[in-house]
Amino acid sequence: MYIKNPEYFITTVREGSISKAAEKLYLSQPYLSQCIARTEKELGVKLFDRSHMPLKLTEAGKIYMRYLESVGVLTGQFEEQLGELKTGRSRTLNVGMTLWRGSVLLPDILPSYSESHPDVRITLREHHTAQLSKLLQEDQIDFALMNMPLNLDDFVYDTIFNERLLLVASKDHPAIRGLEAGTPDHPLPIDMKKLRRERFILLQEDQVMGHAMKNLFAKMNMEPKDALYTTSSTTSVNLAARGFGITFLPEGGIRHTAHVEQLAFFTVDNPPFSVPLLLLYKKNSIISPHAKDFIDMVKEYYRNLEEKKIKA
């Protein structure tokens, strides 16, 4: 659909008045009114409910407004990427990841990516899920790698890995001592209810994995007798390695975790307790070729983990 003078409609929506929009656009009020009426005739729908002042959009008007806004975003991204190619400017890749995820994933991906894309400047934004969602909405990052956010209305996503959250404890923990100690590659099932009197180190409930942990305890009809809450998986696993408590750790980054040799690894529940890992994008965004290359490397990394898990 060819759109002529989209700023006429957008300005009218923002001003809530044809006369105010005409004044801002330096047009006559009758001319702008005719333009909007012509657009409605071409589309075959009413875009404004004229019984209200300021003007209100009809449902069709809301759809048309979202369409024009998305076209504007895509046009801006296209012009920016085309300008980079024409001028030879270095390209920028804005990557969002949760705090712990970047520390365990990037050492395996970033060196190879930078070697194959020396002209791409990488900006890392490491935050909790809620902040990453906001950065995506504001177009400050190209995509985010994170667990399922609570609200997906403005995003599209790929599920790249169904990641088990393994129960982790020191091999010398009194509740674990005497049990066969599972390894990262071969975690063993354990009845979590037998640990109900132990201290658990858990993520805060406003974090996605913390919310998942809370749900697990509810499903098990358990309430930890002693719980220490943190915002950092690194803190929780380091405390667990010292025997201070029991925690959960996403399997995708265990190979970069300190003190692995001191820890025992277990699965809980059936099927095993897990959280989907997503690559999240803003709706109607353009994924640049250099961003797609990075995404493909991330997918390959987790594809290899999945194959390794199946073989185990």
What local confidence, expressed as pLDDT, does residue 242 receive?
A: 94
Q: What is the mean pLDDT of residues 106-113?
A: 92
Sign of CA dihedral 189, 161, 110, 248: negative
Of 128-132, 185-189, 228-232, which gets the smallest average pLDDT? 128-132
What's the rounded mean pLDDT across residues 196-221? 92
- Confidence (pLDDT) at 89: 46
Q: Which of 141-155, 215-229, 271-285 has the lowest mean pLDDT?
A: 141-155
CA distances from 237 to 6, 99, 245, 248, 277 (A): 54, 14, 9, 8, 20
Burial zone of 168 (CB within 10 Å; 0-12 exposed, 13-18 middle, 19+ buried): buried
- SS3 state at 116: helix
* Mean pLDDT, residues 144-170: 86
Residue 152 has pLDDT above 80, yes or no: no
- Mean pLDDT score, 11-30: 87
117 or 73: whose pLDDT is higher?
Answer: 117
pLDDT, averaged across the chain: 85
Report how far residue 215's alpha carbon sits from residue 207's, in angstroms, rounded to the nearest whole number. 12
Residue 252: its pLDDT value, please?
85
Q: In the prediction, which pLDDT does 79 show?
A: 55
Q: What is the mean pLDDT of residues 295-303?
A: 91
Q: What does DSSP say about strands 91-97 and 199-203: parallel, antiparallel, or unpaired? A: unpaired
pLDDT at 42: 87
Dist CA 144 CA 24 (whole Å): 38
Has residue 17 got a pLDDT over 80? yes
Mean pLDDT of 257-264: 88
Q: Provide the percentage of residues in the chain whose pLDDT is more than 90.
A: 35
Using 50, 70 and 90 to split pLDDT, how confident is the model at 74? very low
Kindly list the distances between the CA atom of residue 231 and the CA atoms of 47, 98, 199, 227, 242, in Å, as whole numbers in the listed order. Answer: 47, 11, 17, 13, 18
CB 225 within 8 A of CB 200: no
Ordered structural domains, the chain, with CATH = 6-84 (1.10.10.10), 90-312 (3.40.190.290)
Contacts 24+ apart (CB under 8 A), 4-12: 5/35, 6/68, 6/71, 6/72, 8/32, 8/35, 8/36, 8/39, 9/36, 9/39, 9/47, 9/64, 9/65, 9/68, 10/65, 10/68, 10/69, 12/36, 12/48, 12/55
In angstroms, rounded to a whole number, what is the distance separating the alpha carbons of residues 25 and 215?
54
Q: Say how many C-beta atoms besides its own lie within 10 A of residue 100's C-beta.
A: 24
Average pLDDT over residues 12-33: 87
DSSP 8-state code for residue 151: -
pLDDT at 225: 84
CA 84 to chain centroid, in Å, comes to 27
pTM exceeding the 0.85 threshold for the entire prediction: no
Q: Which of 294, 244, 307, 285 is nearest to 75 (CA)?
A: 285
> What mean pLDDT do residues 13-37 have?
88
Residue 27, pLDDT score: 83
Which pLDDT band, with edges at 50, 70 and 90, does 218 fall under? very high
Cβ pair 4, 13 in contact under 8 A: no
Pairing mode, strands 120-126 and 199-203: unpaired
Instruction: Give whichever of 32-36, 60-64, 182-186, 236-240 has the largest mean pLDDT.
Output: 236-240
Token reading at 237:
């696993």
pLDDT of residue 82: 58
Does pLDDT of 34 surpass 50? yes
Residue 205 above 90 pLDDT?
Answer: no
| Cis peptide bond upstream of 54, omega within 30 | yes
pLDDT for 206 equals 84
Is the model's pLDDT at 169 over the cut of 70?
yes
